Amino acid sequence: MANTTFSYLVKYLSTQLDNKTVTTTNTSQTLPSLSSGTPYNMSVVTVGVLGFHSEEVWSSLVTTRPESVQSLSAVTAEVNITVTWSKPVGHKPGYSYRVTWTNSTGLIISNRTTAMENLPINGLVPGSLYNFTVTTQTDDGTEGAPVSTSSCTNASPVSNLKCASPNDPNAMLNLSWTKPEGLYQGFQITAKETIQVRLHNVFHNYHTMHFSNSTVNIVHRNKIFID
């Protein structure tokens, strides 16, 4: 009997009553074409040379991994970001999503589980980069492959903006303001020079300038007023 060859009858069935059987002479078997996020019961029966079957041995219930979420994106504001996504292929009742977010250095800030396809995240720092990961989960906790995206919160506006025109021979404006909360790289200042013609305002010489401090002088030359 030492050279006797055995075969094995592998049976697997899902909670969707999708029963299949595979015969193999190996002591391991890959089961193809299974449904994602689905629990399966599996059993193995030894088959002898005369076709006699052994007792059926069952494994514990095993769930296949669910598919990943689709179309992950983020909608930004100053102190909050709303992460949105679409349901994965083969979505089933009982699915949930674990959302994890980190700062720019990869430090985990928090995570949350939701059954919805979006999650508002509040209490963030303006002008900061955050990384978001969404993982599909089945009702027994089996996880799919994570999907990630990154986004920055919007910069906060300055406050206490003041504009003064000093007594100077040149046409000059002095601007000052209080620095905003959060992170920022500098300030963008836009100046529009106005010519008054027949009671209509016409804008020209549109200027955009970037500054890193909170005080700047803007000089307007050749400003013309026509009656």
Residue 70 confidence (pLDDT): 98
**Mean local confidence (pLDDT), 50-77:** 93
Residue 55 confidence (pLDDT): 93
Tell me the pTM. Answer: 0.77
Residues 6+ apart with CB under 8 A from 200: none
Confidence of residue 213 (pLDDT cuts 50, 70, 90): low
In this structure, are residues 39 and 61 in contact, taking their beta carbons and an 8 Å threshold? yes
- Whole-number Å distance between alpha carbons of 36 and 138: 10
Q: What is the CATH number of domain 7-63?
A: 2.60.40
List pLDDT tens digits, range 91-114: 999 999 999 999 999 999 999 999
Residue 223 confidence (pLDDT): 37
Confidence of residue 165 (pLDDT cuts 50, 70, 90): confident
7-63 shares its CATH topology with 70-152: yes
- Asked whether the predicted pLDDT for residue 227 surpasses 60, the reply is no
Residue 215 confidence (pLDDT): 54
The strand pair at 70-76 and 81-86 is best described as antiparallel
Residue 83 confidence (pLDDT): 98
Q: Which long-range contacts (CB under 8 A, 24 or more apart) does 9-12 make?
A: 9/44, 9/45, 9/46, 9/47, 9/53, 10/42, 10/43, 10/44, 11/42, 11/43, 11/44, 11/45, 11/56, 12/40, 12/41, 12/42, 12/43
Query: Residue ranges of the domains in the chain?
Result: 7-63, 70-152, 159-219
List pLDDT tens digits, range 15-53: 766 788 999 999 999 988 889 999 999 999 999 878 889
- Whole-number Å distance between alpha carbons of 61 and 116: 27
Q: Which fold would CATH assign to domain 70-152? A: Immunoglobulin-like (2.60.40)
- Whole-number Å distance between alpha carbons of 91 and 29: 27
List pLDDT tens digits, range 197-208: 444 444 444 444
Among 96, 143, 141, 93, residue whose Cα is nearest residue 85? 96
Residue 96 confidence (pLDDT): 98
Residue 88 confidence (pLDDT): 97
